[in-house]
Structure 1
């Protein structure tokens, strides 16, 4: 395997692990709930947040880059998406290296699919 591919695969595995930790609220990550999510009843919101934390349905179709940064959840007759984005620590621009948690702020947004 060429060195660049090995480094890329290693970075992808690190990013996926950091995203899993962030999604499970084990690590620093900002969570944003959209207006559509906040308009749902509180029980649905609680169930949704647990479903996001527990999500493990990653496939090549929904996770083509193997970063564990997106998921879709069916709950109470609605489809919800969650997405992790990578920013610099000041939240001004994209992180130059999402595999480095010392320079990356993760933001997880939970939304109704129709808000995407």
Structure 2
């Protein structure tokens, strides 16, 4: 799991196809033949709900979710 988390943290291969809004909060990569998806959620310091507009706020809290895509489906990170 540490290898997967490290790979998601280091991911920097953003393209218009996998990062259409330029936010860099979602990554999709392949490790050992498995599609891995990593997504960062941004929360205000009091954790009063997810707010994607906090990405540049130095006081924002961040939580990363890492998922295994077993169906090998194409994943597009959408702006919410």
TM-score, normalization: structure 2?
0.72
Quote the RMSD (CA, aligned, Å).
2.3
1:53 to 4, 9, 12: 9
The structure with more helix, counted as a fraction of residues: 1
Which of these residues, 100, 107, 113, is aligned with residue 57 of structure 2? 100
Whether 1:65 aligns to 2:26 is no
1:1-34 Cα shifts (integer Å, max 9, x gaps): xxxxxxxxxxxxxxxxxxxxxxxxxxxxxxxxxx
How far apart, in 1, do the equivalents of 2:27 and 2:52 lie? 23
Query: Which structure has the bigger radius of gyration?
Result: 1
| Structure with more of its chain in strand, by fraction | 2
SS of the residue corresponding to residue 35 of structure 2 reads strand
Moved over 3 A (4+): none
Structure 1 unaligned regions, length at least 5 = 1-44
